[in-house]
Amino acid sequence: MNAKPTKKAKATDQDTMRAEYRREDLGKGVRGKYFQQHTQGTNLVLLQPEVAKVFSTPAAVNEALRGLMQIAQRVTHP
């Protein structure tokens, strides 16, 4: 990937909330509230660039791995 680092936007007068919103109406934020729920059942794998070029979507990677699993099962369990 040719990702370039991004610069943080500078704070301006326009970075304030709209007048119809009040901070006390939003409630107190909780850091990491949904972290556990998000990570359950998720397995992130970093692909090498040459592999990512061939398998451009998660569905393509999963399909290829399922095919490989079927072949491996046939070889080990004739």
Q: Is residue 64 part of a domain?
A: yes
- The answer to whether residues 54 and 61 touch, using CB atoms and an 8 Å cutoff, is no
Integer angstrom CA distances of residue 40 from 52, 76, 78 = 24, 31, 35
Q: Is residue 8 part of a domain?
A: no
pTM above 0.75, yes or no: no
pLDDT digits over 22-66, tens only? 888 888 888 988 888 887 877 778 899 999 999 989 899 999 999
Q: Is residue 9 part of a domain?
A: no
How many structural domains are present in the chain? 1
Domain span at residue 75 reads: 45-78
